[in-house]
Each structure stands twice: as structure tokens, then as C-alpha cells.
Structure 1
Amino acid sequence: MSENNESDNPLARRNFLKDSVKMAGGVLLTSALSGKAGAWTLSNDPIKIALIGCGSRGAGAVLNALSANSNAVLVAMADVFKDKLDDTYATLLKVNRIKNFVKVPENQKYVGFDAYEKAIACADVVLLVTPPAFRPSHFEAAVKAGKHVFMEKPLASDAPGIRQILETGKEATRKNLKVVVGLQNRYDPGYKEMVKKLQEGAIGRIVSATDYYLIGPVTTSPRMAGQSEMEFQMRNWRYFNWLWAGSPAGLQIHNTDIVNWVKGAYPIRAQGMGGRSSLNGPDHGDIFDHFYIEYEYADGTKLNSQIRHISGTWNKGGATFLGATGSASLQGGIKNVKGEQIWRNPNKDSENAYQIEHNVLFAAIRNNTPLNDTEWGAKSTMTTILGRMAVHSGKMVEWNEALNSKLTLMPEKFAWDAEPPVKPDKDGNYPVPIPGLSQVL
């Protein structure tokens, strides 16, 4: 199953082929790799990469990975849909800068729910770029096989998945495997500088923060004649909470993670409201199209999170901070209480953060330096799941009870003949969470 993020962020997401030129200046890491006992080692052999999930984001991840190390080759691809795999393979071959490093024979193009296992076996580094429902099992399989991992956000759709991710992350550390999570703002020079200044007290004690992810509608794939219910949901994964984790995770996680990063902490509780104002009738799944979430941190700081993906509405993105002596955002810079500018992002034209995160991953492999983003990636994903739980239930939900929830959104098995966790009624409508009635714990 592929993850396509075209509508994910109007401010940051990019057309894959258009931006391939922008990333042409990525740092090329060229040297032999070696590791300690128990870690993956490589001398001068090519670094073999496998792509799991062949959407546009998967194609972008391959471009970044191949640009990060001139000794790397793509040797295997996997997706549940053959058309997605074929389209992405054809797209990669059109990029002159990397086409000679795309060496995927027909017998290593794997299709099906077990395709990921076969692709993992072919590679040294695995790119996990499917919808989040599959991340826990795919990550576990990659680490069990001793592979380094790049995995896209979000990292799971429910609390049991997050706990599985956290345990697998610990095993990755024990095996000296390198793991990068696709919350690329953590690698962006501008964000790194701003966060450092805020943590050093540039605006005093942070009183509150607000983050925004206000965009147009997410894309849909029409229901086709003869299509099974599982296939329809898989092709429209953003419309189903079990596959997407909801828009707090699928969209806003980037900005919420920035707030967690600045705070050096995660919320202790959340409450909020939301619903569906543009989604109705058959084919629109069970997601909400707007959220307002109030998160509370242990020191009393509040994060107010606004999310909307509705056609014809005002768009805005990013995170803003209000402190005792000023305010801050990456776009507006840092200002004192008089509104005077005391810092602006000097890195606006710096290297693309999507590229930097892959440069860092391959540098850590080459130099055998510790690198594992799993814990903060999982906990920022859990933050967004906490927010979704609060809104769907209409209740105040505590972090600990959310993280320890046994309620799973997953089907009993991933297969074409498996029953999806949610099914339409006789009119084609799906059951939608009802605040005050829906159980989330």
C-alpha cells in the first residue's frame, strides 16, 4: 500500500519531479561503511535499498536516498497494488540523475500484503512509506531482519501500534541499527535554530502555542465496478481512521511535533471538538474534516491545534509560540513584546529538509554513529492520536490512559479477503464517531 501525500501540505509538500531539480545539490556521501559487532556492515559493496509503499512520497524518498549516497542502488520495490508500483518505477526512470541507480529486476518487484517481507530480504536499508496502519508490522519485520530504516510519519493508527513501534525501536538500538522518521522539520536548519533560541529563553517562559493545518480536501479515488470493500478503503486510505490515523496524525503531526520539540515534553491530556461539515454520503469514510484540540503540558502550557481540510476555506500552516517576553514562528521570526524583530530565519534557501534527513541517515550508517528517531517520532504520533481520541469521544483524555489503551483499530489480518474494521450500511454510509457516545479507550 502506497502513501501519496500530494494534498498533505500546500506550503511544504512538493510535486516529485518538479522538486527533483531543487534537491540536485544534496550532499553525496561516498565512502565505505563499517560497523561494530552485531551491526550491519558494508565495505565497498553497493548499499541496497528497498522501497515499501510506492506512492508519490515513496518516489520522493527513493530520490532522497539515492541522492544521499552515490554508492546506493534501489534493488527492490513492494506495494499491494501493481499499478502503483509500475507507475512509481516508471517515474523514477525519468529522473536522469538517479535512473542509473534504479536497478530493480522484475523478480524483485513484489505485489501483495506479504510483499514487504520479500523486499526487506533483498536490502540493507528499507524505506517504509505506506499508510501508518502498516508501519508497526513493517518496522518490526525490518528490524528483526537487521535492516536500517527510514520510515514516514505517522508511525501507527492506534495505541497498540505505538507500543509496538516503541518496543521495536528499543530492539533497533540494541542491534545498532539506524532509524530516521520522516518528520523532516527536525532536520531543517531554520527550525533547529529557532527551537534552540526558544529553549534558551528567547521569549521567556512559553505560555501557549497554536498550530495550524488548514487546507483543501484530501484526494479521493472513485469506487470502481467489482472492487472489493477492502480495496476501496485501501485506495482511499485517508478517509478511514484505521488506515490514516485521522488528520491530526496524517497532517498536523509536523507542527505538533515542533511544539513537543520546543517543550522537550509531550502533553499530559487533551480535549477538543470536531466533526464533518463537507463529508457526507457514500465513499467518504469515517474521518472528521475539522478538529480543534486543546493539549495541556505538565507545566500548564496549552497547545491549541486547528485542523481543517475543506474546499473553499482559508489556508494556513505552521506553529506559533507566545512567551512571557515575546512571540515566535518560523515564518514570522522571533519578536519581543514590543513587536520588534529579534530573529529571522536565515536559512530560507538552505537545502531541502527532506534531503537532509536522508543525508543524516546515510552518514550515520557510514560512520557508525548512533541515530534512532523512533521514540520521539512515536510519542509525537501518540500526541496526535490522543487528540483524535479526545475529539471523537468529546471527553478529556489523559496521556497515560490513551497510550495504554487496548482498543485497536486494525483488522484481524491484512488480506484482500479480510473484513475491514468499518463497513458501510445498506446505503453506503460508514459509521462515524459521535462525541459523547463513541468509545476510544
Structure 2
Amino acid sequence: MPTRRTFLTTTALTAATHAFAAPKDNDIKIALIGCGGRGTGACHQALSAGSTIKLVAVVDPLEGKAQAALDILKAKHEGQVEVPPDQVFTNFEDYTKAFALADVVLITTPPGPRPFLFEQAIQAGKHVFMEKPVAVDAMGAKRVIAAAQVAKQKKLNVCVGFQRRYQPSYLDMISRIHAGEIGDLIYGRVYWNGTSRPGFPREPGESELHYQIRNWYFFTWMSGDHILEQHCHNLDVANWVMKGEMPIKATGQGGRQVRRAKENGTIFDHHTVEFEYANGMRILSQCCQIGGKCARDVSEHFHGTKGAADLANGGKFLLNGQPPGGKRTRNKEDPYQLEHDAFFENIRTGKVRIDAEYAAHSTLMGVMGRMATYTGQVITWEQVMASQESLAPDNLTWDTEPPVKPDEEGWYPVAIPGTTIVG
């Protein structure tokens, strides 16, 4: 496995001839695996990247999800949705049939199954768009890194939904940080303190696996907890600013202060972690989903010997108090669309960009933070990379036993800092 210092996140576009380079007048066929809100949105952005991009297959095991996504996409993209009834798949294992029909696979399932599906897509020789985080545990992230090496050999494009990496204001700010405009870095702060969301109540007669998949956000084996599922965006910015150097250790606190109902599954509602680097640099990470009148903040801040940089602070990007090249706000850019535009342009022109490695390292940073908050212990990078914890089973079917189960009263096991051990 790579050491902390051997991976740089500034992956350049490399011109190459790969397994499928589509001339601009040829159709690019895509399959959508996971038809929830984010999957439908990602597919809309993919189809918006060019009129010759065609959706040919969809997969989602939850009843009605696949058809609901198709109805939305057909209304927005006339002539680009070519999915006959026999290519609307509703079994987990049908991903293989969808892969066979497509040139590009969109993996927008919950995070748990992503490492397995990514491996299978790369083995099948498909270009991949995959949502973040790329895994829910260290074992899964390491599998993604290994599959990314195969993608390099096959010259396949891999785009991961860390859309800030494609956003002009972030690109500008971080290039200026790397150029030394705020001096040597001494401290960073990254936040995703947002709104809460309710869990879904159990339906009469619903199987345990069906319930956990439908309520996936609240189960660590499916979502990774919100320190991964959402806060990974901010951790990825930190990883980007640090040029891929990973922290040597993490110390954190977290728990369930408000979301303590049975339908809140196994995850926490707040995490605070301090990451320490070999040179003494520290980054404070904070994410909470308490709701109510709690302060909200989704932003990143970096302090150096010459000044400070504030990224997306209230939608503004400031360097030493001055807008970089004029005031920039996020609503003037659509980074979700920009990443798909770049992804499909690379496919058309034969260039290759692989986001999977830096995305896996940013995922590992989130896993490191969760290990710290769940255990209350100091967690080292070596512990993370040696971890054998594997939360999500491969080859899910409706007969798969859920990795966690409720007790007789319907309560799920929740980590207890100071008691829980992860390894």
C-alpha cells in the first residue's frame, strides 16, 4: 500500500488511447446502478454532457426506484433514454447484465457496495463515475486503490463525485495556497455542520435487510456514518490542500445527542476530530446533524505564516480577506455538471483521468476520524492501513444476512467511546 507521502492528489490529465474512445459522432452508452435522488441527479448531469450520451440500463432493487428515475430522466432528456422494459433491472445481481450493455457505469448506490461494484466494473473494462465516499471502511478503500491500478493499466477513466475538485473557485484558491500565498501551513479547519434528517420507520412485514437498505443512511455498514457520507467532501479538500499527505494520527469525540430513536440505526449525530501531521500541522474536523437552532457551517479554512484562506465560507472564497479575482459564489458555478463534462470529454478524446486513488485516501481519512470518535482512542495512520474491518458484504441479494441486527426491543448496537474496539 502507498505510504502517507507517496500519493499526490493533483492527478493530471494524461493523453492516452484507451479501451473505448468515442468519436464525437458516436453514442456513449451508460448504465445507472442505484436510482435514488443522487443517482438520478448524476445521470441527469451525465446526459447533459452531450446529446450522443444514451442511458441504456438501470438497476435498483427497491421497488419503484428504477422506474421513478426513468420517468424523471425521460422528461428531461428526450431521445437520450433508450431503456426497454427488459433493461430495467430490479435484482442486486443484475448489475452484470447492465454492465454488459454499457460503455460507462454510474455507481450511485449507497457507499457500502461501491468497492465491490467498482472492482467488477473495472474488470469488465468500463469507464466509471462513482459517488463519494468510495467505501465505508479501510478494507474497502484499499480495494478501490487496487482496482484503480487496474484502471490505469486498462486506460479507463474514473470520476468520483468530489465535485469541488472540478469547481473553478476551489481550483483557483487551492492553487494559490500551493503557490505559497498564505505561507507555510500551520492549521486548518473543516466543517459540515448541517441540518438533521429523520430515519424511516419500519413497514409492517418488512424484512430486516430491506429495512436497512431502505433506511441505509443510518447504518454504518451502508453509509459509513455522516463523517464519511457528507463530511468526506471537506476532508477531501483538506487532503487536496495537503497534497495527499495523510495525517499520522487522529483524536476525536462523538456521539448521539439528539438522534436516538430506533430508526436512527447505528450512526452518531456529531463528530469532532483533530488530525495531526508529521510536521506538526493540525486540522480540526467538525460535523454534526443536530438540527434545530444549531449553527450551520459547510466550509474549509486554512491558516499559514503569511495569512489565511477561507473556502466557501457563506458561499464566498477569500484569501487574506480579499476575493480572489473578484467575488465568487458557488451558485454561479455547477461543479456537479463540470465534473461530468470533463469525464465524458476525456472519454471522447482518449484522455484519461483517474480520481479513485485520491478519493480512496480522502475516504480513509474519514474512516480514521470515525475510528477515533467511535473508540475514543488515538488512532494512527498505521492502525488504519492495518485495519481488517470489513463492514459491507459482497454480492448482496435479498437472502443476505444483515451485518447488524436489532435486539429484542428493536434497538441497534451503537459505538460507545472508551468501550468500543475497531480493528
Same fold (TM over 0.5): yes
Q: Which residue of 2 aligns with 1:371?
A: 353
| Cα deviation digits, residues 163-221 of structure 1 (max 9, x gap) | 11111000000001011110000000000000011111111111111111111212422
The answer as to 2:372 corresponding to 1:390 is yes
Paired residues in the alignment total 402
What is the identity, as a one-letter code, of the residue corresponding to 2:288?
Answer: R
State how far apart, in whole Å, the 1-side matches of 2:98 and 2:72 are: 19
Structure 2 gaps, min length 5 = 1-14
CA contact (8 A) 2:317 2:327 kept: no
2:167 aligned to which of 164, 179, 188: 188
Q: How does 1:14-413 map to 2 (within 5 A)?
A: 36=17, 39-43=19-23, 44-95=25-76, 98-264=77-243, 265-312=245-292, 313-330=294-311, 331=313, 332-336=316-320, 340-341=321-322, 343=324, 346-348=327-329, 350-411=332-393
Counterpart secondary structure, 2:133: coil
State how far apart, in whole Å, the 1-side matches of 2:328 and 2:296 are: 24
Structure 1 residues 334 and 202 mapped into 2: Cα distance closer, same or farther (>3 Å)? Answer: farther
State how far apart, in whole Å, the 2-side matches of 1:363 and 1:42 are: 9
State how far apart, in whole Å, the 2-side matches of 1:394 and 1:385 are: 14
Counterpart secondary structure, 1:62: helix
CA contact (8 A) 1:190 1:346 kept: no
Q: How far apart are 1:361 and its partner, in Å?
A: 0.7
Higher relative contact order (CA 8 A, sep 6+): 2
CA contact (8 A) 2:138 2:364 kept: yes
What is the identity, as a one-letter code, of the residue corresponding to 1:381?
Answer: T
Q: How far apart are 1:45 and its partner, in Å?
A: 3.2
Q: How far apart are 1:35 and its partner, in Å?
A: 7.1
State how far apart, in whole Å, the 2-side matches of 1:156 and 1:410 are: 9
Q: How far apart are 1:42 and its partner, in Å?
A: 3.6
State how far apart, in whole Å, the 2-side matches of 1:351 and 1:71 are: 24
Q: Which residue of 2 aligns with 1:6?
A: none
Structure 1 residues 173 and 219 mapped into 2: Cα distance closer, same or farther (>3 Å)? Answer: farther
Q: Which residue of 1 aligns with 2:412?
A: 430
TM-score of the superposed pair, with normalisation by structure 1: 0.88
State how far apart, in whole Å, the 1-side matches of 2:339 and 2:399 are: 38
What is the identity, as a one-letter code, of the residue corresponding to 2:85?
Answer: E
What is the identity, as a one-letter code, of the residue corresponding to 1:109?
Answer: V
| Cα deviation digits, residues 141-163 of structure 1 (max 9, x gap) | 11111110100001001111111
Structure 1 gaps, min length 5 = 1-33
Counterpart secondary structure, 1:307: strand
Q: How far apart are 1:350 and its partner, in Å?
A: 4.2
Q: How far apart are 1:245 and its partner, in Å?
A: 0.6
CA contact (8 A) 1:126 1:149 kept: yes
4+ aligned runs moved over 6 Å, structure 1: none
Structure 1 residues 112 and 45 mapped into 2: Cα distance closer, same or farther (>3 Å)? Answer: same
Counterpart secondary structure, 1:93: helix
Q: How far apart are 1:344 and its partner, in Å?
A: 5.7
Larger mean Cα displacement after TM superposition, 114-123 or 176-185: 114-123
What is the identity, as a one-letter code, of the residue corresponding to 2:44?
Answer: L
CA contact (8 A) 1:189 1:347 kept: no
What is the identity, as a one-letter code, of the residue corresponding to 1:275?
Answer: G
Note the aligned Cα RMSD (angstroms). Answer: 1.7
Q: Which residue of 2 aligns with 1:20?
A: none
CA contact (8 A) 2:275 2:282 kept: yes
Larger mean Cα displacement after TM superposition, 48-57 or 350-359: 350-359
State how far apart, in whole Å, the 2-side matches of 1:278 and 1:301 are: 33
Counterpart secondary structure, 1:82: coil
State how far apart, in whole Å, the 2-side matches of 1:222 and 1:66 are: 34
| Cα deviation digits, residues 406-434 of structure 1 (max 9, x gap) | 12112475222222111111111111111
State how far apart, in whole Å, the 1-side matches of 2:326 and 2:403 are: 45
Structure 1 residues 175 and 188 mapped into 2: Cα distance closer, same or farther (>3 Å)? Answer: same
Q: How far apart are 1:222 and its partner, in Å?
A: 2.2
| Cα deviation digits, residues 78-110 of structure 1 (max 9, x gap) | 011131111111111222xx1321111100001
